[in-house]
């Protein structure tokens, strides 16, 4: 297992100068955006002073085929981020030949694995604190099993923090979670994630995150790809998500979605446009978009380097950012004041399966608060959501995970009942699921609002509610 010194005070000749510290914090991360979130939280003092703790950045590449995916250390700004940590450890290498998304130790093997990692990483017998993303799945869940006595903190680096927990957590993990750190991407909206366990959300300060983004952008000085993009004097940026990889759209449909974004920007008067494809998107996406841009008389520049979209916002403030439901859209609005618009959310709402799909809440939020570029509505900086946003998100969350959030049933029923006949609201909910749950909008009898929580829990456990 390779342990790479990250902090200047920890040298290659003496990589263990910090092992005498009484506490160890292990920060698990899989994206540079997530690492930037952690860096901002550290800078803001959310994890205490650096003097009395040894910090390890545990990097996990969760791509389906990690060997062919973009590695985090190749991303612009990575070298700036890791200065907050004493060393960097490659999780993929630590558990090879297993895949980070699927490997978890057997219950009886967990103590053995902890001894293996404590020896390999020179942790000694110091107490370990875990700071992880997506605690419902591996590798975060695997780490929580291995370090079974460790406290756990969860951080969320995108819109998914506003949605429900993906599945019920083992009580042995749930009882150890101290807080949920998240960015204030939708001011006024409180995360639903982990709320059923009484976990309190805590904001990562805007100025701290903005400072880290500026630091990453500074690291892009001299980047040829970025310089070419800025030289094109674009006024709009299109964000690709590669929804085909999630089996939400076909590759052809996603290709057409990008073309619709470009045409919408052109119709709004933008003649120089940047397209930032998803890092795993096929090259043909850019080819088809180039052909459509030429037909529309739009100058198209593809920004396909190892850069965060936020680095482009920092260097070249566009007047419009267009996407489907990417977190990077909301970042542009919240942290840079750039007007945003959406394209294709209606199609994705129809296609998104199953009901429990974790993308449902991010999609709902963006669809509800961001203008649709194709309807002629002008782009906007949404700010705080409308009064309907919080009850809508809570209702969608209950329908996604009724067993985890039975106490939201009554308010969900009231919300749905108050919006009967409202087609705009109805499209956020699956009619079949509403029928299964005997909620307004489904095909069953009207629910009796106000039933006792105990009865509701009994019905749900029996599979009847």
Residue 384: the pLDDT is 85
Structural domains for the chain: 3-211 (3.40.50), 220-375 (3.40.50.1980), 389-461 (no CATH)
Whole-model pTM: value is 0.90
User: pLDDT tens-digit profile of 346-395?
Assistant: 999 999 999 999 999 999 999 999 999 999 888 999 988 899 999 999 99
User: pLDDT tens-digit profile of 421-463?
Assistant: 999 999 999 999 999 999 999 875 555 554 434 444 444 444 4
Q: Is the pLDDT of residue 212 over 60?
A: yes
Average confidence (pLDDT) over 328-335: 96
Rg (CA), the chain: 23
| Cα–Cα distance, 31 to 59 (Å, whole number) | 8
Residue 346: the pLDDT is 95
Q: Is the pLDDT of residue 53 over 90?
A: yes
Q: Is the pLDDT of residue 7 over 70?
A: no
For residue 458, give every residue at least 6 positions away whose Cβ sits within 8 Å of its Cβ, in sequence order, or none. none
Of the candidates 253, 425, 257, the residue with the CA atom closest to the CA atom of residue 326: 257
């Amino acid at each position: 297992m390779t342990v790479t010194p990250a902090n200047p005070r920890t040298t290659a000749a003496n990589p263990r100068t910090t092992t005498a510290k009484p506490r160890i914090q292990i920060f698990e991360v899989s994206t540079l955006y997530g690492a930037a979130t952690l860096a901002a939280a550290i800078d803001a003092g959310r994890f205490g002073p650096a003097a009395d703790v040894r910090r390890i950045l545990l990097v996990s590449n969760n791509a389906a085929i990690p060997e062919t995916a973009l590695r985090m250390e190749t991303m612009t700004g990575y070298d700036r981020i890791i200065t907050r940590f004493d060393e960097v450890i490659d999780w993929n290498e630590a558990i090879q030949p297993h895949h980070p998304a699927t490997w978890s130790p057997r219950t009886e093997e967990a103590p053995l694995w902890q001894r293996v990692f404590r020896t390999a990483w020179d942790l000694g017998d110091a107490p370990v604190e875990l700071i992880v993303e997506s605690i419902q799945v591996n590798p975060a869940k695997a780490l929580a099993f291995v370090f079974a006595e460790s406290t756990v903190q969860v951080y969320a680096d995108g819109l998914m923090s506003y949605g429900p927990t993906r599945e019920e957590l083992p009580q042995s993990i749930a009882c150890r979670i101290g807080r949920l750190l998240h960015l204030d991407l939708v001011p006024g909206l409180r995360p639903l994630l982990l709320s059923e366990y009484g976990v309190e959300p805590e904001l990562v300060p805007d100025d701290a995150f903005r400072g880290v983004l500026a630091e990453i952008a500074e690291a892009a000085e001299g980047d040829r790809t970025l310089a070419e993009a800025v030289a094109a004097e674009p006024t709009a940026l299109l964000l690709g998500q590669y929804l085909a990889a999630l089996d939400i759209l076909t590759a052809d449909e996603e290709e057409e979605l990008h073309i619709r974004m470009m045409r919408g920007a052109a119709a709004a008067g933008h003649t120089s446009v940047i397209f930032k494809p998803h890092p795993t998107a096929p090259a043909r996406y850019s080819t088809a978009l180039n052909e459509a841009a030429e037909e529309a008389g739009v100058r198209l520049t593809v920004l396909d380097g190892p850069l965060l979209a936020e680095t482009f916002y920092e260097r070249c403030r566009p007047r419009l950012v267009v996407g489907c439901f990417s977190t990077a859209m909301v970042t542009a609005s919240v942290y840079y004041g750039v007007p945003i618009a959406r394209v294709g959310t209606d199609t994705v709402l129809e296609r998104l399966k199953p009901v429990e799909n974790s993308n449902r809440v991010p999609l709902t939020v963006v669809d509800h608060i961001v203008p649709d570029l194709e309807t002629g509505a002008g782009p906007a900086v949404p700010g705080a959501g409308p009064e309907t946003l919080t009850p809508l998100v809570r209702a969608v969350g209950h329908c996604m995970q009724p067993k985890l959030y039975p106490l939201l049933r009554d308010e969900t029923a009231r919300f749905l009942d108050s919006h009967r006949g409202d087609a705009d609201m109805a499209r956020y909910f699956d009619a079949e699921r509403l029928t299964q749950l005997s909620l307004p909008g489904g095909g069953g009898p009207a629910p009796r609002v106000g039933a006792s929580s105990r009865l509701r829990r009994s019905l749900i456990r029996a599979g009847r509610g």
